[in-house]
Chains A and B, each alone.
Chain A
Amino acid sequence: MAAAAAVGVGGNAVTRVPKDLVGLGWRPELAAGIVTNLDAIDVVEVIADDLFKAPRRQRRALRTLADQVPLWLHGVGLGLASAAPVEERRIAALARLADELRPAGVSEHLAFVRGGGVEIGHLAAPPRTDATISGAAANTTRLSRALGFAPALENIATLVAPPASPLSEAAWLTAALAAADAPFLLDLHNLYANALNFGGEPAAALAVLPLERVRVVHLSGGHWITPPPGSADPRARLLDDHVHDVPDPVFAMLALVAERAPPGLAVIIERDGRYPKFDVLLAQIARARAALAAGRQKATAFPYRAPSGLSTAAYATPGNEDAIALETSLARLLTSCDLGTSDHADPTGLQLAAASIAAKTSRRQGKEFVRSAATMQSCKGP
């Protein structure tokens, strides 16, 4: 659906190369600015889970928007990267919504969001194992069949190193995307934050990812958070909070992506709060376009490879109870904040992650969450 640019190839027939698109995530606070500036916005992304219970007229309005500007539907609630199968009703709900809105594409996350009946309320990094790779592939295959096409899968940010993970983030992502045979939604700030938080170098982290699979890119910002005094690891960690401007290094990473990724990317700036004047967001869109253009100029010839279709990965075999039990344990740790007896290898990260989730839950419930040393230790809030 991306607009195409005609490219002459050695005086022969013109090849139409899909054009890169840059846009914004749809939020009620940004709706007026987006509609007023549609001539400067190539693509819009809506959160699927906001729409499942929305009034029909709201969904119909977004269908109208989708007819006029490419619209991506972004799910946050399936938890595809789990050894446990995603409930069929959740997959069906997303497929029904996609059928109604007819978006340019659908995306979800390589994350788990629940375990053993515990809802985490946030995207959590699963253990990076063969079990979660198989689970991601199986769940994505089921979702692909319901949609009629493969969804793009997004890498997530994490404040805590997933336990019992023999694979690196890059190896796990590459294997999961290959097993699912799905396009890649590359969230650059997530990659950036993970690299800084766990001792890596962002450009190096980018270099080993399957950039030929990238179809969508997310850009966002975050801020540094400091563990309370006495924490096992006193280093500050970068929280991907979506309420800050996209930092310079992330734009530089976008240019690197453009050197290798196929044309026709959808680049979406995510902003969930502390909204600046809309001109600031338009300036970031312009900056993203410039980064893409700079990267494309350096791009060497590459084969444009569309995702080949549904995965043939085997379904996760029954009896994968160990992997599911580990996810359950992790879900309980992330939501109970009762970390006193936990022997997690990254207790500081776990504390920070649990506190972040508790803060988010409090905000959703309309309560103020006071981050203090005491509440960082036991993050049930005031």
Chain B
Amino acid sequence: MSVFDLSGPDFLKFYAAFAAVVLILLHLAHRRVERGATPPLAQIDPYQIAMLRGGSHEAMRLAIVTLLDRGLLAQTDGGEIVANARASEARNQLEKETLAHFAAAKSAASVFAARRLTQACASFDAKLVSIGAFAGSRVRADRFVPTIVAVLLLAGVAGVKVVVALSRGRTNLLFLLLLCGASLFLAAASQRRKGTVRGDRLLADLRGLFSGLKARRLSIQRGNGHETEMLAAVYGVQMLPVAQFPFVANLFPQASTSSCGSSSGSSCGSSCGGGGCGGGGCGGCGG
């Protein structure tokens, strides 16, 4: 007796377990072909980090917030955004297009439908591909063989069962086809996934490096530049404290939540035995 002789419900249980194993192995195979050193931190800027974390929309959100913080954009009484400066003050193509987009007052969300801004994000995408944080043609080619093997296994086992069932006059195959379809969809999604293992690790490392910044987010001041940009890039613009950046709550209403969970004070873990030897901050030897 083979598995294909199992009754409907029993075969579905078997197929679900089989598909889970195949998809896990596919995931591991993809991770294996993508392994490598974490991309260099020096080669990535806040816009690329935002793109890595959440795609072009996150890069656009960061651009608006950064330009507002620098005074190059302003918010009208009606909550719309308008440019306060010329494009020559932009630091990259996205900022330039953003300033041009808001030459006349518009809602912040209007950027998401602006084709020129989407095109301006293409350079970030290309950079992330070049450092291995996003999947390019080479990564997708490396993923292809494991994906094809997985697809053949998933479709093949389901297909054999379909043939056996039909030959025995059984036509109740809807659940099997749905399960097979879902599995194939997941396999295809794994093949097409934009992120890579190296990109995931880069983002995890950035979150590790800036966990202290996140913990003291409520003390971030306007005009701080590096801290504002990095906090927003790594964790999202909703992390910026509303007291200092009130426009964030109005720009992207769904983003201002209390889920950040960070404390207002910095956590100073340095110690010399029971006490600490730190100076003004966390750690350090100053008097």
Interface residues of A (CB under 8 A from B): 25, 27-29, 31-33, 35-36, 38-39, 46-47, 49-55, 57-62, 64-65, 67-69, 76-77, 79, 109, 113-114, 119-123, 154, 156-157, 159, 187, 220, 222, 239-243, 270, 272-274, 277-278, 356, 360-361, 363-364, 366
Contact = CB atoms under 8 A, between A and B. Distances in A.
A25 B208 CA distance: 17
A121 B272 contact: yes
Contact of B284 (A51, A239, A270): A270
- Which of A120, A278, A364, A366 counts the most chain B CB atoms within 10 A? A364
B283 interface: yes
B261 interface: no
26 contacts: A28-B266, A29-B216, A32-B213, A32-B230, A35-B42, A35-B230, A36-B229, A49-B270, A49-B272, A49-B283, A50-B268, A50-B269, A57-B204, A61-B206, A62-B209, A64-B201, A76-B270, A76-B272, A76-B277, A77-B271, A114-B272, A119-B272, A121-B274, A122-B275, A123-B272, A364-B275
Given A242-B279, A273-B279, A278-B225, 14 more contacts: A35-B210, A36-B45, A47-B278, A47-B283, A49-B269, A49-B276, A61-B204, A68-B40, A76-B278, A77-B273, A119-B274, A121-B276, A241-B280, A364-B278
A51 B270 CA distance: 8
Given A31-B209, A32-B227, A64-B41, A243 B273 contact: no
A110 to B, nearest CB: 12
Interface in B200-218: 201, 204-213, 215-216
A109 B287 CA distance: 14
B38 A28 contact: no
A360 B280 CA distance: 8
Given A32-B227, A68-B40, A242 B280 contact: yes
Contacts of B269: 49-54
Contacts of A39: 42
B276 A356 contact: no
Contacts of A60: 204-205, 208
Interface string B59-74: 0000000000000000
B272 A31 contact: no
Given A57-B207, A68-B40, A240 B286 contact: yes
Contacts of B210: 31-32, 35
Interface of B: 37-38, 40-42, 45-46, 201, 204-213, 215-216, 225-227, 229-231, 265-266, 268-287
A31 B204 CA distance: 15
Contacts of A122: 272, 275, 277, 287
A364 B201 CA distance: 33
The 5 closest A-B CB pairs, nearest first, are: A273-B280, A28-B212, A61-B208, A242-B286, A121-B275
A73 B46 CA distance: 27
Nearest to A76: B277
B211 A55 contact: yes
A31 to B, nearest CB: 6
Contacts of A49: 269-272, 276-277, 283
Nearest to A58: B208
A28 B272 contact: no
Contact of B287 (A32, A67, A114, A240): A240
A113 B286 contact: no
Interface majority SS (helix, strand, loop, mixed), chain B: loop
A344 B133 CA distance: 62
A32 B226 contact: yes
Contacts of A46: 283
B41 A68 contact: yes
Given A76-B277, A123-B272, A361-B275, A50 B227 contact: no
A31 B201 CA distance: 18
B272 A35 contact: no
Nearest to B282: A50
B279 A121 contact: no
A160 to B, nearest CB: 11
A101 B268 CA distance: 20
Nearest to B215: A28
Contacts of A239: 287
A28 B282 CA distance: 8
B211 A272 contact: no
A211 to B, nearest CB: 21
Nearest to A156: B285
A135 to B, nearest CB: 17
Contacts of A59: 208
Contacts of B45: 36
A156 B286 CA distance: 9
Contacts of B280: 241-243, 272-274, 363
Contacts of B270: 47, 49-50, 76-77
B284 to A, nearest CB: 4
B213 A120 contact: no
Given A32-B231, A121-B277, A76 B285 contact: yes
A77 B287 contact: no
Contacts of B281: 27-29, 272-273
B272 A120 contact: yes
B182 to A, nearest CB: 32
A248 B192 CA distance: 58
Nearest to B37: A67
Contact of B275 (A54, A119, A270, A278): A119
Contacts of B268: 50, 364
B273 A119 contact: yes
Given A28-B212, A64-B41, A243 B279 contact: yes
